[in-house]
Amino acid sequence: MVKLFSATHKKNTKQPKAIEVIIDGINHQGHGVARHQGKVCFVEGALPGETWRAKVVEDKKHFIQAQGLKCLTASADRQTPPCKWAETCGGCQLQHMQPQAQITAKQSFVEGLFSKVKLHTLPWQTNLQGDDLHYRNRVRLAAWYEGKQDKLHIGFRQKRSKKLVAVDRCLLAAKPFETILSALRLQLDSLKDKKYVQHVELHQVDPWSIIVLRVAQPCCREDIQRLTQFSEQNNCVVFVQSGTSPALPIDGVARELSYSILGLKMHFELADFIQVNHQMNQQMIEQAISWLDLQPSDKVLDLFCGSGNFSLPISQHCQFVAGIEGSESAVQRAQHNAQTNQLKNCQFSTKNLAEQAELKQINWGEYDKILLDPSRDGAALLCQQAHNWQANSVLYIACDANSLVRDSQFLDDAGYKISKIALVDMFPHTAHVETMALFKRV
C-alpha cells in the first residue's frame, strides 16, 4: 500500500502584538476609541483621556479591536463599579465611569456622528438626567437549568457570550426588588418543575411588585402553592405564562395596571411596550411639550405613537392630536386611554410607517407640528416625505443616534434645521444613547 505524504501545518506561534494607545472617546458599545497607525482602535473598558497598553485581537483594514492589558494613565472619571458583576455581566457597559462623565462622553459621541455630515456645532440644551440606580421598572432575566447539578440559575448574559452570570440582585432594578430577587433565586431553585423555567421578568407597577415566570409547561399544583406562599411572604404578585398564553396571576385576582403622567392615568398590560424609566419618561414628555411650544390652535401628528405616551399629555395643550402606530393592539390601548381620561381631541389609527403606500394616505398639510419616536431603525422613508410636510416644528426622539443623524439629512433637505438637541439619560451605566432633537423649518 502506498503511503501518501501529508505535510504537517505549522502552528501559528506568533504572539499577539501589544500596542500603546491614548483613548479620545467611546463608541456605541461603550468601548474606548483611539487611533493607532492611521486606524481606529477599540479597547473595551477604556475611558476617554486614558493611556492603555492593549493586545491586538483583530487587525482589520480599517480598524483594530484590542483587549486592554494595563491602564497606564487612569482618567479622573474612573470609579469602582457599584455592582460586583459589572466586569462580566453584559447588562451594563459603563459602571466604571462616573455618571456625569457618561453623559459628557455620550454627548461627544453624538457630536462626532454629526460632524461626519458636516454639522460641527449643535445647539445643545440641558441634558435630562435622573437617578442612576434602581431606575428600571422592568427587568428581564434569563434562566438556565444545570441538569447534572439539578440547579436553576437566573441572571444576565455574559459579555460577548450566551453564558449566564447568575445574580441575586440588580442595582438597576426598582428598589423593592433589591431584597426580593435574592429570595426569588432560592425559591425558584426549590421548585419541583424548575427545569421548565425559561425567563423571569420583574415589573414595578405601583403599588405592586410583579414577578412574571415564563415556563415551558404549566406549573404543577405543588409549585403553585410554593409560589403563592413566596408572594405572601415577600409582598409581591406572581404571574405565570406558559407557551403563547397570556401571563396570569397565580392568586386569580385581576389587577388594573397603570402609570401616571401629568395627571393622566395610562393603562397597559404586562406584554405592552412602555418606557421602563418612569422618571425620565416624565421629564421627556414635559420637555416635548415645552419645545413644541404648543398653542391652543395647534394640530399635532404623533408618529409611532404607541399607546399614547406622548399623544395624550400633548392633547391637553392643543386643539387636536392624531396618533399613528403600526401595532393594532397599541392603537386600541391608546384609544382606551383617551376614553378613560375623557380626552376627546385625540384620534388614533394603524398604519405601517415603513410602507410608501400607507404614507401617501396621510394628509401632511393638516398638521402644524409633528412628533416622531421611532425604533432603533429610525424613520428614513418617513423623513424622505418631509418636503410634503407643512409643519413648522418637528420633534425627533431617537433611541439610536446613527439613525437620527441619517434622518436629519432628509429633514435638512426639506428645509428643517436643528433648533435644539439634548440627551435623555434613559439608561445610565449602559452604552445606550437617547436623544431629543427639535427641527424648525427655515
**3-state class (DSSP) for residue 169:** coil
Residue 399 annotated among the catalytic residues of the structure: yes
The answer to the question of whether 44 is labelled as a binding residue is: no
CB atoms within 10 A of CB 275: 20
Residue with cell 437549568: 145
Residue 226, CA atoms < 13 Å, CB-side half-sphere: 16
CB 53 within 8 A of CB 34: no
Note the Cα 52 to chain centre separation in Å: 30
Note the Cα 437 to chain centre separation in Å: 18
Beta-sheet strands, E only, within 117-176: 138-146, 151-157, 164-166
Residue with cell 416635548: 288
- Core vs surface per residue 192-226: b (16+ CB within 10 A) or e: eebbbbeebbbbbbeeebbbbbbbeeebeeebbeb
Per the residue annotation, which of 41, 71, 383, 399 is the catalytic one?
A: 399
Per the DSSP assignment, residues forming a β-bridge with 423 are: 435
- Taking the C-alpha atoms of residue 164 and residue 244, their distance in angstroms, rounded to an integer, is 25
Q: What are phi and psi of 365, to 5 degrees?
A: -70, -5
Beta-sheet strands, E only, within 206-359: 208-215, 237-242, 248-249, 258-261, 264-267, 299-303, 320-325, 346-350
Q: What are phi and psi of 181, to 5 degrees?
A: -60, -40
The answer to the question of whether 373 is labelled as a binding residue is: yes
Give 360: exposed, middle or buried? Use CB within 10 Å, 0-12, 13-18, 19+. Answer: exposed
The answer to the question of whether 109 is labelled as a binding residue is: no
Residues sharing a CB contact under 8 Å with residue 327, sequence separation 6 or more, in sequence order: 306, 350
Per the DSSP assignment, residues forming a β-bridge with 432 are: none
Residue numbers belonging to the annotated binding site for S-adenosyl-L-methionine: 275, 304, 325, 373
Active site residues: 399
Binding-site residue numbers are 275, 304, 325, 373
